[in-house]
């Protein structure tokens, strides 16, 4: 038995709280990893402790920014997918093919 979906647009396209929490956690982990890599590279290249700190800061910002871009794209894709599932617009290709089949002249 198929479940009936309520008519109209979905109440919200916001991704679930679990997905948002995982996105935030991934940005934090990406920043931590970037900071560690930045610190290690700057520590190998320069003798100053200040340079290592600056390298860690730059690495953390770049790592977190890169992961944040990916996380935002994933959350947007999830929201779009939920909207398509709710409205049934994912089956638009099937409707177009049915229309084309009906319009073909019979030989």
Q: Burial code of 52-65, b = ≥16 C-beta within 10 A, e = fewer?
A: beebbebbbebbbe
Are 66 and 30 contacting, i.e. CB atoms less than 8 angstroms apart? yes
pLDDT for res 101: 77
Of residues 72 and 1, which shows the higher confidence score?
Answer: 72
Mind listing the pLDDT tens digit for each residue in 26-66? 999 999 999 999 999 999 998 888 999 999 999 999 999 99
Note the pTM of the prediction, 2 decimals.
0.68
Mind listing the pLDDT tens digit for each residue in 63-98? 999 999 999 999 998 888 877 777 766 566 667 777
User: Could you state, in order of their start, the residue ranges of all structural domains in the chain?
Assistant: 17-88
């Amino acid at each position: 038995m198929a479940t009936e979906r309520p008519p109209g647009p979905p109440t919200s396209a916001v991704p679930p709280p679990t997905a948002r929490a995982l996105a935030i956690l991934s940005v934090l982990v990406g920043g931590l990893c970037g900071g560690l890599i930045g610190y290690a590279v700057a520590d190998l290249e320069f003798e100053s402790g200040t340079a290592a700190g600056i390298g860690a800061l730059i690495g953390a910002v770049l790592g977190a920014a890169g992961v944040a871009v990916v996380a935002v794209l994933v959350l947007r894709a999830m929201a779009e997918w939920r909207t398509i599932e709710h409205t049934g617009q994912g089956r638009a290709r099937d409707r177009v093919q049915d229309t084309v089949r009906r319009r073909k002249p019979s030989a």
